[in-house]
Chains A and B, each alone.
Chain A
């Protein structure tokens, strides 16, 4: 596709359920980022991949959060035993080069997760 694609667009999970959020970056993009955007807030960094390597996972809120990008393309953000505070929009972005120096990050539409 032409842009970053995320699925599902909406997910309702019961508290304690595991969820998996998918991101298809723009083809050929080296860098992939996950951000969490709570209601009324700006996006907050979760994790960064350069190809298949997860170079920074410092923003993941707890060990219930896990992200992978095994073949350097599609990425999955998994949240185990979801809690109500996990409710947010999860944004994926990709960029052509390593990092964001002299390049632009393109964001997907996000997955809105609601934990009930």
Chain B
């Protein structure tokens, strides 16, 4: 089983749509969780952390379910500029991070 698994997509949605990505992880000892964004031919960049109680940053909402070892990212009112690959990231031994393969999102006019 992979350490971090994501649906690769692609997700093709119209502007203004709400879209959700899911991710599962295998290491029950993991303590820190993140979503990264990667644009085409660019490096991954931190989008947001994921907290146990769930957290929101503008149009983005992240949720964590420790019992099911499951993380989600919800994007509301999607914009053309949201088109990118979204990587689910989980810490390993609180030092290095393990990345999912990413979910590709395309927002169309």
Query: Do A and B come from the same complex?
Result: no
Q: Which A residues have a C-beta under 8 Å from some C-beta of B?
A: none
Q: Which B residues have a C-beta under 8 Å from some C-beta of A?
A: none
